[in-house]
């Protein structure tokens, strides 16, 4: 079981979490719980680090920020004890959760925890701070923001858990954002790959890394809400969303929709370079430096050359990387040979996602015509095996999502 910062924010909420955990144990399960820091605490600690040293050493940053999860782990253990459960905390260095030494963005290596397994078998609930680990050299590491989801999946894999329940402030994964589409439906199942595509285009239910890890390790992940009725039945009968492999899905869900969900992402920016010489090497001169700077370019369109022998190239980058991308391109102006840069951050990427489209043609065509019918102009397109994305004017985001939700027959009651 994993609980996020909102669920752990203060004594009363931790007591609520303890109640949910206790019910799982009472239902006959051995339970390990991974917890985040109290909401706001990690920000507070990060700010201290920035004030101390704007160019902070990530090793010492990790020492400071890992403390937030240590506090909530101890407090949840105490709260469970107050309810009569046996419980103890297992810190990253105690378990241990071994990681590489990429401080502030460490990757988990091995979790070998016979001691904890013995303690769980003896009826003790294990409480594990998320987000943290230790290097082979015994230094504290953290996994990067949102890393507690990844901790939970990694622990679930290490102890061969039957299920990894991620409690969040939503009660599952929806066909789209219910704040945009009132008729959005909660999904009973999604596949790892669908979840990855949905997560990467702005459906922030789970950290992408944790989904990749779950897919790699075959961990069955359930997303469900921690703000449930205290008297509700134990979580295995609760309607969260299960994230599972293709094979499990095919057997269980015959009436599955072609399209699983629709995601919108406003955190992209469009860049157009005009007057580029239509010759080999020009495009490489643009995207080489961006790739080297770790800027993730998504959609790319190269127009047909004008009569002048020049062309325009349009692409998208994450909004946060736009200033760096502009600077890099300006620095390469001579090498690339372009006339002007036009940027537009008022764009939105709309994606339809579903493993069903592997075996069905026409998904993209449905998308284009549905949007065209409402006069929504498509500025760029990209596709993967289970996803079609288009770039549109940001102001049309909600309209486009609603139109597509209806077009693919996803609307619920």
Which residues here bind its own copies, judged by CB under 8 A?
11, 14-15, 45, 48-49, 51-57, 59-64, 66-68, 70-71, 73-79, 81-82, 88-89, 91, 93-94, 138-140
CB of 43 to its own copies, least distance (A): 14
Measured CA angle at 134 (ends 161, 244), to 5 deg? 25
CB of 127 to its own copies, least distance (A): 9
Contact indicator for 245, 191 with CB cutoff of 8 Å: yes
Q: Which is nearer to its own copies, 58 or 289 (CB)?
A: 58
Query: What residue has token string 């409480």?
Result: 127
Phi-psi region of 14 (alpha: psi -120 to 50; beta: other; left: phi over 0): alpha
Q: Which is nearer to its own copies, 60 or 326 (CB)?
A: 60
Q: Which is nearer to its own copies, 26 or 52 (CB)?
A: 52
Four-residue CA torsion sign, 26, 29, 30, 35? negative
Q: How far is CA 173 from the centre of its chain?
A: 12
**Residue 373: enclosing H or E segment and its boundaries?**
helix 363-373
CB of 141 to its own copies, least distance (A): 13
Q: CA 139 → CA 106, 180, 285, distances in Å?
A: 11, 45, 41
Q: Which is nearer to its own copies, 22 or 387 (CB)?
A: 22
Tokens representing residue 174 in the block: 């929806």
Q: Which is nearer to its own copies, 56 or 192 (CB)?
A: 56
CB of 320 to its own copies, least distance (A): 24
Q: How long a stretch of residues is the chain?
A: 413
CB of 82 to its own copies, least distance (A): 4
Q: Which is nearer to its own copies, 127 or 388 (CB)?
A: 127
Q: Which residues contact 25 (CB under 8 A, 6 or more apart)?
A: 31, 85, 125
Tokens representing residue 390 in the block: 């288009």
Closest by CA position to 364, among listed 378, 347, 345, 375: 378
Packing angle between helix 58-65 and helix 67-82, nearest 10 degrees? 20
Q: How far is CA 8 from the centre of its chain?
A: 20
Contact indicator for 38, 12 with CB cutoff of 8 Å: no
CB of 154 to its own copies, least distance (A): 20
Q: Which is nearer to its own copies, 55 or 340 (CB)?
A: 55
Q: Is 255 exposed, middle or buried (0-12, 13-18, 19+ CB in 10 A)?
A: exposed
- 24 vs 109: CA distance, rounded Å: 29
Q: Which is nearer to its own copies, 73 or 170 (CB)?
A: 73
CB of 6 to its own copies, least distance (A): 17
CB of 150 to its own copies, least distance (A): 22
CB of 329 to its own copies, least distance (A): 33
Q: Which is nearer to its own copies, 88 or 324 (CB)?
A: 88
């Amino acid at each position: 079981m994993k609980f996020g910062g909102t669920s752990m924010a203060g004594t009363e909420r931790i007591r609520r979490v303890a109640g949910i955990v206790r019910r799982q144990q009472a239902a006959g399960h051995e339970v390990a719980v991974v917890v985040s820091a109290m909401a706001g605490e990690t920000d507070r600690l990060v700010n201290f680090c920035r004030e101390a040293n704007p160019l902070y050493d990530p090793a010492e940053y990790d020492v400071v920020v890992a403390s937030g999860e240590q506090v909530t782990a101890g407090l949840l253990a105490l709260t469970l004890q107050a309810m009569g459960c046996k419980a103890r905390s297992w810190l990253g260095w105690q378990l241990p959760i071994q990681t590489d030494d990429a401080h502030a963005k460490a990757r988990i290596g091995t979790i070998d925890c016979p001691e904890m397994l013995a303690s769980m078998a003896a009826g003790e609930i294990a409480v594990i701070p998320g987000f943290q680990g230790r290097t082979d050299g015994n230094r504290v590491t953290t996994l990067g923001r949102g890393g507690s989801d990844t901790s939970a999946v990694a622990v679930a894999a290490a102890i061969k858990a039957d299920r990894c329940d991620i409690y969040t402030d939503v009660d599952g994964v929806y066909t789209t954002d219910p704040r945009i589409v009132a008729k959005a439906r909660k999904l009973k199942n999604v596949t790892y790959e669908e979840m990855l595509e949905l997560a990467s285009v702005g459906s922030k239910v789970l950290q992408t890394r944790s989904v990749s890890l779950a897919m790699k390790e075959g961990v069955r992940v359930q997303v469900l809400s921690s703000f449930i009725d205290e008297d509700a039945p134990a979580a295995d009968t609760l309607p969260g969303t299960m994230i599972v492999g293709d094979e499990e899905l095919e057997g269980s869900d015959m009436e599955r929709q072609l399209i699983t969900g629709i995601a919108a992402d406003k955190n992209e920016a469009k860049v157009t370079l005009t007057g580029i010489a239509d010759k080999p090497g020009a495009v490489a001169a643009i995207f080489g430096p961006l790739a080297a700077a770790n800027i993730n370019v998504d959609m790319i369109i190269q127009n047909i050359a004008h009569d002048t022998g020049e062309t325009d190239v349009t692409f998208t980058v994450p909004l946060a990387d736009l200033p760096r991308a502009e600077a890099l391109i300006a620095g390469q102006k001579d090498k690339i040979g372009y006339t002007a840069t036009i940027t537009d951050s008022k764009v939105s990427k709309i994606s339809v996602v579903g493993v069903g489209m592997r075996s069905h043609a026409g998904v993209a065509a449905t998308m284009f015509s549905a949007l065209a019918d409402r006069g929504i102009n498509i500025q760029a397109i990209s596709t993967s095996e289970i996803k079609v994305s288009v770039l549109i004017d940001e102001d049309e985001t909600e309209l486009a999502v609603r139109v597509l939700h209806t077009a693919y027959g996803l609307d619920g009651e």
